[in-house]
């Protein structure tokens, strides 16, 4: 995918029978502080192609150890998310705890460069259900990093 926000690069690898990982990278013109502001506002996921809403109040900043619920656009069943790591303007790492047989880790990283803001989104699935879940969420995961950058660029 190539458009006004830069170039999207996708890399994936299979890590065995019950694990898969994919990384998406993008360079955008959106400022890093605005990107972090959009990403850190976990109560407003209107830009996210897969997650619809959370049970968090507006303005709550992600901190390690925070556990919250989210509802996907695919099913009305809530899933639990755990903030593993959060460094403002640099990194947000989440772990999804949905049901036995599946573990999902999501990492957002950003870095300011001379060309713009470098944005990286990584997804890792583990467990015996990971091939099925990956088949379901892959089209949405392909759009996450671009949707985040576009949401911020529209507001800038």
In order of 88, 116, 136, the CA distances from 64 in angstroms are 12, 28, 28
User: How confident is the prediction for the chain on average, in pLDDT?
Assistant: 88
CATH of the domain at 139: 3.30.530.20
Closest alpha carbon to 65 in 95, 108, 40: 95
Closest alpha carbon to 19 in 78, 101, 112: 101
pTM here?
A: 0.86
Q: Tell me how many domains the chain contains.
A: 1
For the chain, give the percent of residues with pLDDT over 90: 72
Tokens 């925070």 sit on residue: 66
Q: What is the pLDDT of residues 5-45, one digit of tens each?
A: 444 555 555 555 578 899 999 999 999 999 999 999 999 99
**Can you give the residue range of the structural domain that contains 103?**
2-155
Task: Supply the pLDDT for residue 99.
Answer: 77
């Amino acid at each position: 995918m190539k458009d006004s926000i830069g170039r999207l690069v996708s890399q994936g690898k299979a890590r065995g029978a019950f694990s898969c990982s994919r990384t998406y990278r993008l360079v955008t013109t959106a400022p890093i502080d605005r990107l972090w502001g959009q990403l850190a506002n976990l109560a407003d996921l209107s830009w996210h192609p897969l997650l619809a809403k959370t049970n968090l109040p507006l303005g709550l900043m992600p901190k390690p150890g925070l556990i919250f619920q989210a509802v996907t656009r695919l099913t009305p069943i809530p899933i639990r998310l755990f903030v593993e790591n959060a460094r403002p303007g640099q990194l947000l790492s989440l772990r999804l705890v949905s049901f036995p047989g599946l573990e999902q880790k999501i990492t957002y990283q950003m870095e300011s460069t001379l060309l713009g803001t470098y944005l990286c989104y990584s997804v890792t699935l583990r467990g015996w259900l990971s091939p099925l879940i990956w088949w379901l969420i892959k089209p949405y995961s392909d759009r996450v990093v671009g949707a985040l950058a576009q949401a911020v660029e529209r507001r800038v």
